[in-house]
Structure 1
Amino acid sequence: MRIVLLSPTYPLRGGIARYGTYLLRAIQTRHHCLGLSFKRLYPDFLFPGRGQEEKGVIPRSGSAGDRVLHYANPASWRRALQGVKAFNPEAVVIAWWVPFWSIHFTWFARQVQKICPVYYLCHNVLPHERKFFDQKLTRWALKPASGFIVHSEAEQRQLQEWYPASRVLRREHPVYFFDDEMQISKEEARKELGIKGRMLLFFGFIRPYKGLDLALEALAHLGPSYQDLKLWVAGEIWGADDIYRTIIKKYHLDDQVKIESTYLHDHELSLRILASDAVLLPYRTATGSGVLATTYAHGRPVIASQAGSLKNMVIHGQTGLHFETGDSDSLVEAIEELYAGEGPERFIAGVEAAKSNFTWDNIVDAIEELTRHE
């Protein structure tokens, strides 16, 4: 089959670009696939991180697609459309994650509709932090689609309500793999980072909905036997960090919290995950989670809320532990349970067994299933 995938890819930063790079490779192993990516995603004022591109070596995930699209250059979209016409695809798959792209994607999808069916792979149907116009723009932008792929039950229900005649398939977020960075043991990783006691990790772009404040509150309310527990926070903070600094100061957590407010390259991130006992995902809302997928790839358990797809992807007692969404006291109990009995190591086998279910082939299968029903 001839498929076009429109998605951010490497060297653009963040989970959407990583996902797009891995998915492009997965499609290309089974089909002829043209990847369309971006020269530039956003104006700087909409991207509070330190730069939109990752510097360094291209990851082992293969082709990164044609970097032709630019948010502010209509000619780039016309060139991309000409490329699609020349490729003559049987399906076009567009990654959707924010309404910023509603005008661009609506125009593109309506033009492509004249050639072949259009499908949306929705990372987030609606943003985690919403504005009053987001729903209207999103419904308008997604209307040309013949079908959808999502990662959570809530998003599946939302799209089925909006477009009852369209097929909406749910598949779990696939696991990423960082094989070259995973050749060291937990002990070696901890030695390199200077970790001596227990360690929990919180990583990724830090935004209010991800609940870092809940993690800090929980750390503050653990008993005196947890004085050796360090919370390592790794990721750029989007927006003000006052709320986090205030909690740290209020509860005198300076010795227990390390904030590494920077974007980590693969090796740096792998080192921190491998050194950790578990990764915290205290999210208030969630759809699919690249953080969870990355953690599983490294064989580490998680402590997660029950928001969105986390409820299904985290198997309580096997790949980690759940706690009540938005409840720091419940998170305290989950941390205590993590370290009870045999401790975090008792989850390792469960993670290894479960992660084989979250494959990129599942997403390619879903694309094929959508096309078969045209």
Structure 2
Amino acid sequence: MAEPLLHYGNPETWRKAALRLKEFAPDGVILTWWVTFWGPHFGLLARNLAQFTRVVYLCHNVVPHEKRLLDAGLTRWAMAPARGYIVQCEEDARQLREWFPQASVRRCGHPIYPLGDGPLPDRTAARRALNVTGRMLLFFGFVRPYKGLDVALQALASLGPEWDDLHLWVCGEFWDDAEHYREMIRRLDLSGRVHLETGYQPQAELSLRLAACDAVLLPYRSATGSGVLADAYAHRRPVIATCVGCFQDMVVPEETGLLCRPGDPADLAQAIVHFYAAGAERFQPGLEAALRHYSWDAIVNAVEDLLEYEATDHRSDRVHRQPIGGILP
């Protein structure tokens, strides 16, 4: 049974957690990082852990997308005791090299989520269940300003009347005011073509929407790793994404999706037109290859490689990375 050890609001647990972990005599301890909020207790925990073992940070993103004044300094302080880092994009690797020139960094794309042994949801049945009759694009996950939903709405509005059967489904929790987007939808005359489903989506409901859609929209202004991209790939759905962060590595144009410029509604609209002109089926071989390429074994290998490398005490500024570019044989 799991033993709760660490509470962010109780500094005494930060030390006790390290002492409890010491009893296991671990070869290393992996700390998962994605928000500066963890800075104070992770920083002290890492310093205690570093006295008897190797600390590795597994970074979803090094600094938050919506940056604040203390983010860089607090993150750097929290991560300083680590012996190694695993990141998901070159931007984060570059940031860590700047802060810690002798750091050992491994770059590994976000693994694709396993969906169990059962078959994928049936597309025809999913569209029938959701009453989808035309073309459908999906935007899902936490809705935050950096993810560019406003750009997607402007792109959709710019398409001509022959695109009136194209519907955008937005599914997820809003981090800012959802009313701002509702007002934008009304102003752009998109009320009949944009479906807002606010709040948490259980996996079964999300899988149904992924099965029904033609592609997933990722019009982000910035990105590091992306669980949304991994979920899209797991459901064999191509993406229309921007040239930022991990998308530049993990989205292979014309194989697993299309790329466009960030913050550019016209370029996104052009990518949407191009996507439908050639058809979605052409992406299936690339998506199957992506499933094999971005496995969880890659993360395991990165951790083992990093711990073994650090065990020799040969610190390096080298960045080990997965191959990028085309993934089809």
TM-score, normalisation: structure 2 = 0.91
Residue equivalent to 1:357 = 293
SS at match of 1:246: helix
Q: What pairs with 1:218-233 in structure 2 (closer than 5 Å)?
A: 218-233=155-170
Match of 1:340 in 2: 277
Q: Deviations over 1:230-264 (max 9, x none)?
A: 10000011111243123211121010000000101
- Listed as ranges, the matches of 1:34-49 within 5 Å are none
Instruction: Classify the secondary structure of the residue corresponding to 1:206.
Output: coil
Structure 1 vs Structure 2: percent identity of aligned residues? 50
**Partner in structure 2 of residue 80 of structure 1:** 17
* 1:59-74 to 2 correspondences below 5 Å: 66-74=3-11
Structure 2's unaligned 5+ residue stretches are: 311-329
User: Using the alignment, how far apart are the partners of 1:66 and 1:336 within structure 2?
Assistant: 52
Look up the match of 1:272: 209
Q: 1:182/1:72 Cα in 2 relative to 1: closer, same or farther (>3 Å)?
A: farther
Q: Helix, strand or coil: the match of 1:125? A: coil
Which one of the candidate residues 292, 313, 317 is aligned to 2:250?
A: 313
Identify if the C-alpha distance between structure 1 residues 207 and 182 changes in structure 2 by more than 3 Å, giving closer, same or farther.
farther
Verify the 8 A CA contact 1:213 1:243 in the aligned structure 2: no
Q: Using the alignment, how far apart are the partners of 1:347 and 1:103 within structure 2?
A: 45
Q: How many Å separate the matches in 2 of 1:174 and 1:193?
A: 29
Aligned residue in 1 for 2:314: none
Instruction: Name the CA distance, whole Å, in 1 between partners of 2:178 and 2:72.
Output: 28
CA contact (8 A) 1:149 1:366 kept: yes
**Paired residue type of 1:368:** E
SS of aligned partner of 1:89 = coil
* TM-align CA RMSD: 1.4
Q: Which runs of 4+ in 1 moved over 4 A?
A: none
SS of equivalent to 1:187 = helix
1:201 corresponds in structure 2 to 138
1:235–1:182 distance in 2 versus 1, CA, 3 Å: farther
Q: Which amino acid counterpart does residue 161 of structure 1 have in structure 2?
A: E
Counterpart among 172, 185, 198 of residue 261 in structure 1 = 198
Cα distance in 1 for residues equivalent to 2:18 and 2:275? 51
1:292 aligns with 2:229: yes
Confirm or deny that 1:169 pairs with 2:109.
no
- TM-score of the superposition, structure 1-length normalised? 0.80
Cα drift, residue 212 of structure 1? 0.4
Q: Secondary structure at the match of 1:205?
A: coil
How far did residue 275 of structure 1 move?
A: 0.6
Deviations 1:160-212 (A, max 9, x none): 11101111111111001223674431111111111111100000010000000
Structure number with greater CO (CA < 8 Å, separation at least 6) is: 2
Offset of residue 355 of structure 1: 2.1
Q: Which residue of 2 aligns with 1:108?
A: 45
Deviation at 1:79, TM superposition (A): 3.9
Cα distance in 2 for residues equivalent to 1:335 and 1:217: 12
Residue 175 (structure 2) pairs with residue 238 (structure 1) = yes
Give me the whole-angstrom Cα distance separating, in 2, the residues matched to 1:183 and 1:336. 27
How far residue 220 of structure 1 moved from its aligned partner, in angstroms, is: 0.3
CA contact (8 A) 1:181 1:266 kept: no
Question: What whole-Å deviation, never above 9, does each CA across 1:37-86 have from its counterpart, x for those lacking one?
Answer: xxxxxxxxxxxxxxxxxxxxxxxxxx9x5443322123443442232011
Report the Cα distance in structure 2 between the residues aligned to 1:199 and 1:182, rounded to whole angstroms. Answer: 22
Deviation per CA, 1:301-336: give whole Å up to 9, x if none.
Answer: 000001101111000001010011111100000100
Kept after mapping to 2: 8 A contact 1:151/1:309: yes
Structure-2 separation of matches of 1:177 and 1:289: 15
Mapped pair 1:329 → 2:259? no
Q: CA deviation at 1:353?
A: 1.5
The residue identity in structure 1 corresponding to 2:5 is V
Letter in 2 for 1:82: L
Stretches of structure 1 that go unaligned for 5 or more consecutive residues are 1-62
| Partner residue in 1 for 2:66 | 129
Distance 1:279 1:181 in 2: 22
Aligned residue among 129, 149, 154 for 1:217: 154
